[in-house]
């Protein structure tokens, strides 16, 4: 495990997070993830995220009216960069924090290219199982 540093495009928000890309990343086929091209790394400890600056610039994407899942998608209110997601889903092991990988600042391309990717079936609220089709993700 290591500490990664990340930020938004404009630099208003900065954070650090404890995790390991080698342990795997996730892409999902749900409507939100498809539209946002979301690629994330789940932190081993849901409390492994620390905001270093810009707490006043953090915003949360409003939930769809039909969305009852406890997930909170955070972004920079100034530049729109996706940053992380928190939530609590029993089938996923309870409380979690997932970092948006493109927001990480200090990751060599070789590490990104070799990070394992799990393609979750979020469109069926079945995140713990692999999506049948993943080529479009």
User: What percentage of the chain exceeds 70 in pLDDT?
Assistant: 96
> Strands 58-60 and 2-7, how do they pair?
unpaired
What per-residue confidence (pLDDT) applies to 3?
97
pTM of the model: 0.86
> Strands 82-89 and 94-100, how do they pair?
antiparallel
Q: Quick one: tokens of 63? A: 């939930």
pLDDT tens-digit series, residues 95-125: 999 999 999 998 999 999 999 999 989 888 8
> CA torsion 101→103→105→110, rounded to 10°?
30
Q: Which one of 2.170.150.70, 3.30.70.1400, 1.20.1260.10, 3.40.190.80 gives the CATH number of domain 2-121?
A: 2.170.150.70
- Domains of the chain: which residue ranges? 2-121
Find, among 12, 10, 42, 24, the residue nearest to 111 by Cα.
Answer: 24
pLDDT tens-digit series, residues 12-48: 999 999 999 999 999 988 888 888 888 999 999 999 9
Runs of H (alpha helix) within 54-100: none
């Amino acid at each position: 495990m290591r500490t990664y540093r990340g930020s938004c495009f404009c630099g208003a928000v900065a954070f650090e997070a404890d995790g390991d890309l080698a342990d795997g990343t996730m892409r999902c086929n749900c409507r939100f993830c498809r539209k946002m091209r979301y690629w994330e790394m789940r932190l081993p400890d849901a409390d492994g995220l620390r905001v270093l600056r810009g707490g006043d610039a953090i915003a949360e994407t409003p939930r769809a009216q039909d969305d009852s899942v406890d997930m909170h998608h955070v972004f920079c209110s100034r530049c729109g960069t996706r940053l992380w997601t928190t939530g609590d889903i029993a089938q996923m092991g309870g409380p979690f924090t997932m970092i948006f990988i493109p927001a990480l600042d200090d990751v060599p391309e070789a590490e990104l290219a070799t990070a394992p990717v799990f393609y979750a079936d979020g469109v069926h609220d079945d995140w713990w199982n692999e999506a049948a089709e993943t080529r479009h993700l």
